[in-house]
Structure 1
Amino acid sequence: MKKLFKVLGIAVLVVLALLVTLPLLVESRIDGIVRREAEKRLAARLDFERLDLSLLRHFPRASVDLKGLTLVGEGEFAGDTIVAARRISVVVNLGSLLGGEGLEVTKVVLTDPSVSARKLADGRVNWAVMKPSEEVGKPVGETEAGEEPSSFRLSVRDVRIDGARVSYRDDSSGMRLRTAPLRLRLRGDLSAAQADVRLRLDAADVTFAAGGAELLRSATVGAEIEAAADFAARRFELSRNRLQVNDVEVSLDGWVALSDEGVAMDLKAAAPKASFRDVLSLVPALYARDFRDLRATGELSLSAWARGTLAGERLPAFGVSLGVSDGTLRYASLPGVIERIDLKASLTNPGGPMDATELDVERFSLALGGNDLRASLHASRPVSDLRLRAELDGRIDLGALSEAYPLGEGTRLRGLITANVRGEGRMSDIRQKRYRQMQASGVFTIENLELSLPGVPEVHIDRASAGVSPDALTLGELTARIGRSDLAARGQLTDYLGYLLGEGDLAGKLYLRSELLDLNQLLPESSQPAAAAQEPDAAPAAEAKPLEVPRDMRLSLSVAFRKVLFRQMEIADLAGTLSMRGGVLSLDGLKMGLFGGRVNASGRYATADDPLHPSLSLDLSVQQASFARTFAELETVQRLVPLFEKTGGDYSLTLRMNARLQPSMQPDLGTLDARGEIRSEHIRLGNIAALDALARVLRDEGLRQIEARDVRIRFTVADGRIATQPFDIRMGKTSINLSGVTGLDETIDYTARVTLPEGSAGGVLSTFNVHIGGTFSSPEITLGLKEAARDAVRDVVEEQVQKLTGGKDVGEVLGEAFEQQAAKLRAEAARAGEKLVEAARGQRQQLIDKAKNPLAKAAAEKGGDALVREAEKQAANLAAQAEQQIETLRRKLTAEKGE
């Protein structure tokens, strides 16, 4: 007996050893089979990180796990990840692993898969990854002569998907579907000729949109389906089936059969247990907001059917009907109630093309706060030529609505809207603007509307009305207040039907008036300049976005605004015409008071090409504007022309400019290209670092203040730098010719030709060049010492020679008079040399004073000493050249006398 147990124990150990070691022997074979079959059958790239084989987990079957699986498209969908799964588990028959007939798959489990399905506008889909084959429909196991048989035989009985994330995008129709997570289980012998199949589906956070409308938002969807499947005949009999969307539960009965001609069906759906409240759960605006607090009553009828064949573009006959009678809707937390809700609607198709589908909302009515609202809608021929007939009649008290529907915290709504409108027509008439072929009449009115939203200025509309005709909406006088701003408008809008149906541009002409328009309050905060400092715990600022000009509007706006506030600017009496077309806003002869003067402006602001970086072009003519106000109110001037802050007086300007704007609506100065001319009859400049530095170097306090008349400056702006052409400024008896460049970083590079009044600097150094560099707040002054000395020698000698010889006989010149004038010449040259050295010493001290550390001070001292040595050298040259000229003149006069 002991020997028997020993043998059995050894046998068990051997079996266990085989179960553990055998997978290691065949894993590589299975890995190769999977990759080879995928390459042979798929027009996509299938890959996985690892393949694991276990014989114990589902014994006597084997389990194959593919971890980190991805399926990536090719061709048009190259790079698109169609499927990505953390793990796919496949259970196979153990005997098929060891035999040569291929793998027999019985169970498939997908864990945390992500599926991204996409359909292009031309109809191509990214999930069509199976390579074309002529073997479709062949009995299993049948192959052509010489063809290698398939390595797979499906005998699946159980398919599971857990934690799936699914997205679907149809570019041809605009349909969108997204859900996560999704769970699915499919059970049944899928390899048998006939079997009972059970399917269970649960999906959360389902969002579905079609035709530009969001039909489901964050919905829950479930399904339990049992079907008797005849796989040979490809027919499925449905019984005891349940479909559920949010709170609506629908039963589904009938059959579906697949054939080469299409999908034949005879299906019926009903919702015997559904209530009016359940149907309201399908409305995204209601389901997403306090739905648990919603109470609804009323009789509901909901049914649907489909009978016929779905083949290509041909639909089976179908019908969906929805009815509500004597419905009420109220929220437990609110005092108001919407009552007497009555609805009768249907969607039908007799069988045939989609164009035969008709939507009929025969009646819809409700009562709110003692006011009734009635509407009807009929739509047909949705594909070939949409035909619409609609009617709206009644009043809505917005105050009563806010008491019956939760608007959100901080939201307040009041006012009365009255509508009596009806219309009928075809889409082709709208597209061709055959408005006389259509019918439209009625009027809209709004009275005493008040709207308050968190973070948005309050809106008050005293009264507004619009008369409806087929070709135009005629706006009566609209008077409104938005925050601090007021607005009055009237005019006419044409082509409004095509615009509302997405088939054309809105056109028209409006007249706008305002006493105060505060754009700083009306514009989004993200388009306002950032504060200089922000609290550490403040919320991050919203992403800046410029104002976008609609592309689907062709409007002419005639404006007359008494006062407009925009950033730091205060604009007075703005009047002119604005034209809006194709994403471009054009200014035509706009006139306004700005910067204390008058401005005429023409140009365009365009967002069509790049909504985040609009283009701006302007032609400006400015008359008698203030330098100081311009600097205070315009940030661009603060960055480009800081000199305006210290300039008194008025100016006139002509300017032509082009630039791209940043998302904050500020010009991108790197793209600014401009040219113009600025003129001023009288300007005053003082307390300017560059002038103070020049005065210190030249030892002339009069240069610290400038008063100039009849100034005329031509300038250009490019690559973020403003360049001025040479212009003259007179300061008393001193004149300066100035030209140069200012950069965005406040760097300056100017050359000044200074002409001092007669008698300055001992009669020498009256004209010299000065280079002004550094920055506007920290300028660096450099004198042209060599040029100044050379010019000084020439001028002084010529002047003294003229005094010595001018109009006199040679005999009179020589003698004591000659020596006296020669002595004066030597003295003038000496004084000029002293002035030259004094100026150099002043410049040396300026360099030392600006040094901020010992190392910089040592360098400044060294550079300053070099300047002084150069000045002393030029002073010595001045004396030597004066002496040389005296001796040359003496010899010349002596020779003339001897003759």
Structure 2
Amino acid sequence: MKKILKITGITLLTVIILLLIAPFIFQNQIKNMVRNFINNNVNANVEFADVSLSFLSSFPQTNVTIDALKITNFEPFKDETLAIVKTMSFNMSIKELFKKADEGPIVINSIYINEALVNLKINSFGDANYNITKAQNKTPSTTNEGEGFTLNIKDYSITKSAFTYLDEASNTKFHITELDHSGNGTFSESISELKTKSEANVTFSIDSTEYLSNNKIKLDALIDLDLEHSKYTFKENKGFINELPIEFTGFVQLIENGQDIDITFENPDSDFKYFLAVIPKTYSKNISDVETSGNFKVNGKIKGQVTDETIPTLDINITSNNASFKYPELPKRVENISINAAIINTTGNVDDTYIDLKTFNFKIDQDEFKSSALIKNLTKNMLVNANVDGVLNLENITKAYPVTLENELQGIIKAKLNTSFDMNAIETNAYERIKNTGNVSVTNFVFSSVDIVNPLNISQANITFKPGLVTLENFKAKTGNTDLDATGTINNLLGFLLSDKKLKGNFNVASNTFLVSDFMVEGGSDRPVNQSTEPNDALKIPAFLDCTITANAKTVVYDNLTLTNVKGKLVINDEKANLQNVTSDLFGGTLNMSGLVDTKSKTPTFNMDLGMTNFDISQSFTDLDMLQNLAPIAKALQGKLNSAISINGTLGDDFTPIMNSISGGALAELLTTKVEPKNAALFDALSSKINFIDFDKLDLKDLKTALKFENGRVNIAPFDLKYKDIGITVAGAHGFDKSMDYNVVFNVPAKYLGGDVNRLIGKINDNDVNKISIPVTANLTGSFTSPSVKTDLTSGVKKLTAQLIEIEKQKLLNTGKDKIKDLLGINSSNQTANDSTTTQTNTPVKDVINGIISGGNSQNPNTPTDSTKQQGNIVKDVLGIFGKKKKK
């Protein structure tokens, strides 16, 4: 006995050891088997991380596990992912692993799939990405030969998986998430029985119409499998849509060109509570304690063939009569609920499917709401005919139904409206096919959101609908301290509400007080108004707006600016705002603006023309940062200004120009201007260097100048000023950082330049001397707050001295010439003198020349008189000047 036990123990130990080491021995064989199977059966790119083999976990079966399986398609879905599976395992007999190619197919008993993501797609040409099985060339006599596999499923499961299906031709979409599905059954050659359990979240839509939206679906089904005729009959079946139970019977049979379906279904219990169960639990909350009355019934029949040309006929009905519900924690009851809806198709042609909502009525307090709609041609150009008639108090929505709104709503909506349209008319703006008649009014509407600073209070709004046109009869609202009064027209309201079309219209907007801050969300940091860097985020003009706004506001407040009588036109389109002839009273004058603000790019830009008439200089250059950067010195001026500025650049997150980005030019004209030197450090610095100008009395009236600015620098074209009889020329540049580099040239009359110069002037008795001026240059550097002034008077005085000496020389020269003419008797009035006169004149000339030659020798009998000597000395001086000039 001991010997038998010993032999048995050794045998078992040997078997266990073999079972443990066998996977390592056959690992390469298993991997090759999987690769060969894939290559022989699949027309796609298949990758996997590893293949493992175990005999112990499923003994006497063997378990093959594939890790990180990924399947990607070839053309026409090249490189698109068909499936990703974290783990896939198969249980089969050990002998199946060692079958040769001529020994028949591989039989797999069970399959387990974990965390799979499958994407099935049929493109617009009818190609399916899941048709990846290679064709097998077999005759009926050889169906069991060659490579392949068959399933003998005892059980299977799919866990934590997702499934997506898209048919591009019909725009049909299925999206299944959190899928858990399992099944097991009894199988024979003819009739088998499969029991399954399924649970998933399902979204289903056809042509952008969503029929299920992440609804929780459960299904427990007992299915007869007639494998010989490919017919699957539902025997005992109960499903759940959210918490609405549905029982169904019927069959699905595979036919040559599709499927044949015959299924009927209904909810077994007619309690109205199950209507709430259809609504996703996120919105309906817990319905177990909800008080309900009335009934709710869903039933339907789906019968016919699913082929490339047809769908089954549909007759699905949803009804409820005189129902009500009340959540115990909420104060309001919803009552008089009537629902009569159907989904119908009588032909099998998918285009003939329609939804007929005959009635959807309810009442909250005394407010009744009634509606109906007929929606046809669901898969192509959808046709809609709808009626709304009733009153809805928005505040009661959250008091009667446990929905949590992201934004607070208040107000009463009254509507009596009929609309008839097709979706193609909306998409192509064919307004003649959009028939809207009726009106909608809103009173005491309050809307709050994190996207707006203050709640929007609409006291009254009336909208009238006519074919092709929606008219905003009136719109009175307030937000913060801003009031709005608007009228206008809207061309495509339905296109905006039902598709991605822009909101088009023309509006007239009036306001007594408009505060820009009421519409601007405060940022997380205190960014200065005059920004110097590009922000991370910027305000955007909404892309959905395509409208023209004619504005008239009595007072507009922006930051520290108050504009009055603001009028103009604003055209908004393509995330751009075009200002057209916008005028305003500002700084005691008039401002005119035209230009473009573009927020379509990542960084908003602007390009504007500004016209300023009779602006108060001191106030405007103190309160407007942009003007202060263009001409910092102007804040020391008192008076009026005319200016025209062309400017472009980028905008910061509060629509303030980023100064280092701007470029452009300006023309300015000063009117009735007075200087207040005490307001600027630059004038103090100039006064300390230049004592011949009193800047308090500097007159800048009618001054005109031109500026150009770019790259943070402002270049001033030279311009001229005048102080008494002193001419002044200014030129140079400064930066937006207040740095400067200017040259101011003072053309100063000589009389202002001190005693030495004036004594030199006094020696020359000539009126022209008083007109002499010299340029004195003052170089201004540093900054406007800390200026540095350098002047050069020495060179100016040297120039003046040279001028005075030259004048003296010219004076002596002219005097000498006159004396010579007198001595030579050259006189224009005596050109006809007789010879005797000439003879008489020659004698004194000779005497003068002799006197010059002899140096005035009195021993000569012809010695000239004293007066003649004096004349000779003068001429000698003059000739001496000439001699000096020759030496030079």
Structure 2 residue corresponding to 1:714, chosen from 706, 714, 727: 706
CA deviation digits over 1:832-883, x for unaligned, max 9?
A: xxxxxxxxxxxxxxxxxxxxxxxxxxxxxxxxxxxxxxxxxxxxxxxxxxxx
Query: What percentage of aligned pairs have identical amino acids?
Result: 19
Aligned partners of 2:224 and 2:273: how far apart in 1?
34
Aligned partners of 2:73 and 2:537: how far apart in 1?
37
Say which SS state the counterpart of residue 365 (structure 1) adopts: strand
Structure 2 residue runs without a partner (length 5+):
529-534, 758-772, 817-877
Aligned partners of 2:46 and 2:695: how far apart in 1?
80
Aligned partners of 2:120 and 2:559: how far apart in 1?
48
Q: Bigger CA drift: 690-699 or 17-26?
A: 690-699
Say which SS state the counterpart of residue 28 (structure 2) adopts: helix
Q: Are 1:173 and 1:210, in contact at CA under 8 Å, matched by a contact in 2?
A: yes
Structure 2 residue corresponding to 1:105, chosen from 71, 86, 108: 108
Structure 2 residue corresponding to 1:546, chosen from 517, 539, 555: 539
Q: Judging changes above 3 Å, is the alpha-carbon distance between structure 1 residues 33 and 445 closer, same or farther for their aligned structure 2 residues? A: same
Q: Which structure 2 residues correspond to residues 430-441 of structure 1 after superposition, within 5 A?
A: 440-441=436-437
Is the aligned partner of 1:513 residue 2:510?
Answer: yes
Structure 1 residue corresponding to 2:746, chosen from 752, 755, 759: 755
Give the aligned partner of residue 857 of structure 1: none
CA deviation digits over 1:575-600, x for unaligned, max 9?
A: 12233445544332221234553222
Q: Are 1:695 and 1:702, in contact at CA under 8 Å, matched by a contact in 2?
A: no
Give the aligned partner of residue 831 of structure 1: none
Deviation at 1:94, TM superposition (A): 1.7
Structure 1 residue corresponding to 2:590, chosen from 582, 598, 602: 598
Report the AA paired with residue 653 of structure 1. Answer: S
Q: Are 1:280 and 1:286, in contact at CA under 8 Å, matched by a contact in 2?
A: no
Q: Which structure 2 residues correspond to residues 550-629 of structure 1 after superposition, within 5 A?
A: 550-551=543-544, 553=546, 555-581=547-573, 583-606=575-598, 609-610=600-601, 612-626=602-616
Is the aligned partner of 1:799 residue 2:795?
Answer: no
Aligned partners of 1:173 and 1:638: how far apart in 2?
63
Deviation at 1:317, TM superposition (A): 0.5
Is the aligned partner of 1:184 residue 2:181?
Answer: yes
Give the aligned partner of residue 646 of structure 2: 656
Report the AA paired with residue 795 of structure 1. Answer: K
Is the aligned partner of 1:490 residue 2:487?
Answer: yes
Aligned partners of 1:85 and 1:63: how far apart in 2?
17
CA deviation digits over 1:629-652, x for unaligned, max 9?
A: 556665656777766666665533
Report the AA paired with residue 109 of structure 1. Answer: Y
CA deviation digits over 1:66-104, x for unaligned, max 9?
A: 333334456676665554444333334322223334754
Say which SS state the counterpart of residue 455 (structure 2) adopts: strand
Structure 1 residue corresponding to 2:526, chosen from 531, 554, 565: 531
Structure 2 residue corresponding to 1:230, chosen from 226, 231, 250: 226
CA deviation digits over 1:610-643, x for unaligned, max 9?
A: 4x54553333212233456556665656777766
Aligned partners of 1:462 and 1:191: how far apart in 2?
75
Aligned partners of 1:436 and 1:897: how far apart in 2?
102
Report the AA paired with residue 691 of structure 1. Answer: L
Aligned partners of 1:769 and 1:806: how far apart in 2?
32
Q: Judging changes above 3 Å, is the alpha-carbon distance between structure 1 residues 176 and 678 closer, same or farther for their aligned structure 2 residues? A: farther
Report the AA paired with residue 25 of structure 1. Answer: I
Aligned partners of 1:296 and 1:361: how far apart in 2?
22
Task: Specify the structure having the higher radius of gyration (Cα).
Answer: 2
Q: Judging changes above 3 Å, is the alpha-carbon distance between structure 1 residues 810 and 487 closer, same or farther for their aligned structure 2 residues? A: closer
Report the AA paired with residue 61 of structure 1. Answer: Q
Report the AA paired with residue 252 of structure 2. Answer: V
Q: Judging changes above 3 Å, is the alpha-carbon distance between structure 1 residues 465 and 229 closer, same or farther for their aligned structure 2 residues? A: same
Give the aligned partner of residue 846 of structure 2: none
Aligned partners of 1:431 and 1:622: how far apart in 2?
45
Q: Which structure 2 residues correspond to residues 424-503 of structure 1 after superposition, within 5 A?
A: 424=420, 440-451=436-447, 457-496=454-493, 500-502=497-499
Deviation at 1:680, TM superposition (A): 2.8
Give the aligned partner of residue 760 of structure 2: none
Q: Are 1:429 and 1:438, in contact at CA under 8 Å, matched by a contact in 2?
A: yes
Q: Are 2:540 and 2:575, in contact at CA under 8 Å, matched by a contact in 1?
A: no
Aligned partners of 1:47 and 1:142: how far apart in 2?
29
Say which SS state the counterpart of residue 30 (structure 2) adopts: helix
Say which SS state the counterpart of residue 515 (structure 1) adopts: strand
Say which SS state the counterpart of residue 29 (structure 2) adopts: helix
Report the AA paired with residue 656 of structure 1. Answer: S
Q: Bigger CA drift: 563-572 or 237-246?
A: 563-572
Say which SS state the counterpart of residue 369 (structure 2) adopts: strand
Q: Are 1:119 and 1:171, in contact at CA under 8 Å, matched by a contact in 2?
A: yes
Q: TM-score, normalised by structure 1?
A: 0.76
Give the aligned partner of residue 357 of structure 1: 353
Give the aligned partner of residue 870 of structure 2: none
Q: Bigger CA drift: 242-251 or 298-307?
A: 242-251
Aligned partners of 1:894 and 1:642: how far apart in 2?
58
Report the AA paired with residue 801 of structure 1. Answer: I
Q: Judging changes above 3 Å, is the alpha-carbon distance between structure 1 residues 768 and 699 closer, same or farther for their aligned structure 2 residues? A: closer
Q: Judging changes above 3 Å, is the alpha-carbon distance between structure 1 residues 294 and 784 closer, same or farther for their aligned structure 2 residues? A: farther
Say which SS state the counterpart of residue 517 (structure 2) adopts: helix
Aligned partners of 1:543 and 1:566: how far apart in 2?
22
Structure 2 residue corresponding to 1:675, chosen from 657, 665, 669: 665
Q: Are 1:549 and 1:606, in contact at CA under 8 Å, matched by a contact in 2?
A: no
Aligned partners of 1:288 and 1:137: how far apart in 2?
56
Q: Are 2:503 and 2:544, in contact at CA under 8 Å, matched by a contact in 1?
A: no
Q: Which structure 2 residues correspond to residues 40-119 of structure 1 after superposition, within 5 A?
A: 41-42=41-42, 44-72=44-72, 81-101=81-101, 104-115=107-118
Structure 1 residue corresponding to 2:240, chosen from 244, 266, 288: 244
Aligned partners of 1:168 and 1:627: how far apart in 2?
70
Say which SS state the counterpart of residue 199 (structure 1) adopts: strand
Say which SS state the counterpart of residue 811 (structure 2) adopts: coil
Give the aligned partner of residue 25 of structure 1: 25
Give the aligned partner of residue 864 of structure 2: none
Q: Judging changes above 3 Å, is the alpha-carbon distance between structure 1 residues 667 and 245 closer, same or farther for their aligned structure 2 residues? A: farther
Aligned partners of 1:379 and 1:802: how far apart in 2?
105
Q: Are 1:546 and 1:613, in contact at CA under 8 Å, matched by a contact in 2?
A: no
Q: Are 1:296 and 1:329, in contact at CA under 8 Å, matched by a contact in 2?
A: yes
Aligned partners of 2:140 and 2:742: how far apart in 1?
95
CA deviation digits over 1:723-775, x for unaligned, max 9?
A: 444445667858352223536xx2746352543745559879954474746x7
Q: CA RMSD in A?
A: 4.5
Aligned partners of 1:137 and 1:665: how far apart in 2?
74
Q: Are 1:695 and 1:704, in contact at CA under 8 Å, matched by a contact in 2?
A: no
Say which SS state the counterpart of residue 24 (structure 2) adopts: helix
Give the aligned partner of residue 728 of structure 2: 735
Give the aligned partner of residue 843 of structure 1: none
Is the aligned partner of 1:310 residue 2:306?
Answer: yes
Q: Are 1:216 and 1:282, in contact at CA under 8 Å, matched by a contact in 2?
A: no
Structure 1 residue runs without a partner (length 5+):
534-541, 813-888
Q: Which structure 2 residues correspond to residues 179-328 of structure 1 after superposition, within 5 A?
A: 180-188=177-185, 194-203=191-200, 212=208, 219-273=215-269, 275-283=271-279, 287=283, 294-328=290-324
Q: Are 1:234 and 1:257, in contact at CA under 8 Å, matched by a contact in 2?
A: yes
Count matched residues.
796
